[in-house]
Amino acid sequence: MTVDMPTIEDAKTAISTANEVVEQAIATAKALGASAHDQQVFLYDLSHAAAGVSMCATALSYAERGDDEAHLAHVFIGRVLRDLAATLWTAHSTWGVSPSALASCQNYAVAATADDFVARAATLTAPSHLPDDLELVADTFRRFADDKIAPQAEAIHREDLDIPTDIIDGVAELGCFGLSIPEEHGGSAQGTEDDYLAMIIATEELSRASLGAGGSLITRPEILARALESGGTEAQKAHWLPKIASGETLCAVAATEPDFGSDVANMKVSATPSDDGYVLNGTKTWCTFAGRADALMVLARTEADPSLGHKGLSILIVEKPSDDGHTFRHEADGGVLEGQAIPTLGYRGMHSFEVSFTDWFVPADNLIGGDAGRGRGFYLQMAGFENGRIQTAARSVGVMQRAFELARDYASERSVFGESLDSYQLTQVKLGTMAAIIAISRQYNYEVARAMGMTGDATGSVGVSGGSPDNKAAMAKAFVCKAAEWVTRESLQIHGGYGYAEEYEISRLFVDARVLSIFEGADETLCLKLIARRLLA
């Protein structure tokens, strides 16, 4: 069968049609009223579809920059259309659309997903189109990651070691912890759209070398810094932000609890008012980097009335000594603070801790926002998490990029049945699909980061043109993190049995990628409680 080459005009028409399908599904969900939130499968699929269609608009802009860019964009758009059509095949009535709603896109999708067309994408370059100063940022962090992190990454993973001090010090010297902190508070942010973009670029390059020992170092400081910028007093900003920016204060976030996970309204860790401060009691879990951290950002219940739910939560900064290893225990003023690292499948080096507070005193000055911050902890936490989500999407791109490089290189060197592995069509199609996903995910992250840099958040409306950045940090995380699982899985598969051996780097990337859809908002919670709610609002 002869297949026409996909064109940008056909892509525009296809994306417009796909957007109409998503908008009709949103209208259908809205018409259900409160009962819409019982339709969890519908809303989950709709959230991912909305993310994919939003990314297609970014792909379209990228396509207009050159032939290679257009090729990669078509492959990505074709894949999104194929997945959306598969969903509608059985769910069109639930979505409130015609079973033939995407029929006008079929010829374009056939061309954009044709095997030979997708296969060629693996051989193309994917220009970033960054300005020279940001290309310099990428190059600087790439060289640091290659020289300092990559040589130590495997040992850190296999032996579950602490992140070496030379890596942390090096990241601090590069100014990484202050990329989005304003200049007046010791950071490098100048209030332009590039402020968040530099952070995203650095995160991706560090994650390419190691998710646990590189790219994730920036996330926790960014979450705390964002909460301080959003709701801290001027004295708190002046005290904490310069220390965070310089790396003098290493940070961890203590939000999740063993029995409630993301169910913030029912969190139990209490911060009882006392003379000149608060007394913490309870247990937090999945507190990543809590051992090495000097400051824990703790979401705790300061208001005794349980009916307040999430409105009874506040954020306290708990200071502690920096501890090496997998356990720590401190006693002060009759209180105890202790932590135990949780053994994990991947994402090693950072160490995720269960942290217990027993009558642990925190000065009143360490309540973010002071008295005005009481009851605002949930909202300040969410402000920080928006930043963490787009960072996690950038971390995913770094992991995917490295997985693609390993798969491409291994396929060119490996001979199977007398032919190089990369001469087989199936391998070529896998590599081409990886290349397209990575290129468009990167561009989408850039777009969201620029919007966040200009507006300070990621709120607005979804539209074919990309529109204002509604929900985009969350949608980037939902789509890109899930894609990272597929890319690393297929890269490992290309490696065959060697991919399953720990001596090959891809095995680390595979297990690291699995956590991306869990932390900074588990995928299901992110889609149902955040993305879908915003779409229906």
CB count, 10 Å around CB of 304?
A: 10
Q: What are the backbone angles phi and psi of residue 191, rounded to the nearest 5°?
A: 80, 25
CA distances (Å), 348 to each of 43, 156, 214, 406, in order?
A: 33, 7, 11, 20
The residues assigned a catalytic role are 520
What is the DSSP pairing of strand 251-254 with strand 295-301?
parallel
CA 449 – CA 443 distance, rounded (Å):
10
Token reading at 225:
């810094």
CA 317 – CA 300 distance, rounded (Å):
11
Burial profile 345-383: b = 16 or more Cβ within 10 angstroms, e = fewer: ebbbbbbbbbbbbeebbbeeebbbbeeebbbbbbbbbbb
CA 195 – CA 178 distance, rounded (Å):
10
Q: For residue 207, give the nearest of 393, 417, 429, 414 by alpha carbon.
A: 393
CA 296 – CA 301 distance, rounded (Å):
15
Cβ-contact 164, 152 below 8 angstroms: yes
Cβ-contact 468, 460 below 8 angstroms: yes
CA distances (Å), 55 to each of 1, 15, 76, 475, in order?
A: 30, 10, 9, 9
Residue by residue, DSSP assigns 436-450 as: HHHHHHHHHHHHHHH
CA 284 – CA 18 distance, rounded (Å):
42
CA 240 – CA 245 distance, rounded (Å):
9
Element holding 272 (H helix, E strand): strand 270-274
Cβ-contact 16, 122 below 8 angstroms: no
Dihedral (CA of 448, 454, 457, 462) sign: negative
